[in-house]
Amino acid sequence: MDEQGKKIALITGANKGLGLETARQLGRMGITVLVGSRDLARGEAAAAGLKGEGIDAFALKLDVVEDADVRAAAGWIEERFGRLDILVNNAGVLLDQDRPHNRTSTTSQELLRETFETNFFAVVALTQALLPLLRKSAAGRVVNLVSILASLTYHATPGSPVYDSNTFAYDTSKTALNSFTVHLAHELRHTKIKVNSADPGWPKTEMGGPNATMEISEGARTPVELATLGEDGPTGGCFHAGEPVPW
């Protein structure tokens, strides 16, 4: 807890959409939220809006693919708060074209690398950089935003919800992120840090598109629940609305 008795949460990509709503819901629980944003001005505008709702919020310039931003963010959090209680790795990209058609055979190496840079490598790097601060928390929580599209089980099962929805670069980057969740949770299994993947569902964000079926507020519930798990909560899993999502 900080001097006001509040937990500290960093949410990446939090200036809009699901990240902003996650910050809002955590903030309403009395948690100080750090609004990570590639564009500082947009982050500051989002933080100002949250403050207007009575939420303790700070903007933090954080382009997750920029090493300098990651180092600066870790340094600022350490200097300002001395620890981090919650990390929600929300920032991500969906660059695949021709959705929902399967174009695996023609997906370019450039598209794969750009997708993995944000959705996987940046998440790993940021989490590793902030892990020393999470270890100082009484109950650290790491939440990696994935998708039902990360499920190999569903993709391989005819008739599943995503069997005919194949965005190869995005899907596989999130599958890799699930693997990071499993491996990091295992390493930290004897600590008070819990690491889980959150499938938010299909909320009406820019990434979700016009056909999305859930309100953004509903989509934020799963990452918020995993960010605030009690001591008896799970670790090393993927969940949606409290239920496990098959790997």
The catalytic site residues sit at 170, 174
The distance of Cα 149 from the centroid of its chain, to the nearest Å, equals 15
In sequence order, what are the residues at sequence separation of 6 or more whose Cβ sits closer than 8 angstroms to the Cβ of residue 167?
94, 96, 99, 100, 149
The three-class DSSP label of residue 39 is: coil
Q: Terminal CA-to-CA distance of the chain, rounded, Å?
A: 34
Strand arrangement of the beta sheet that strand 194-198 belongs to: 57-61, 32-37, 8-11, 86-89, 141-145, 194-198, 238-240, 243-244
Identity of residue 220: A
d(CA 241, CA 222): 5
DSSP string, 197-208: EE---SBSSTTT
Identity of residue 105: S
Q: How far is CA 24 from CA 50, 70, 221, in A?
A: 7, 23, 11
H or E element that contains 183? helix 168-187
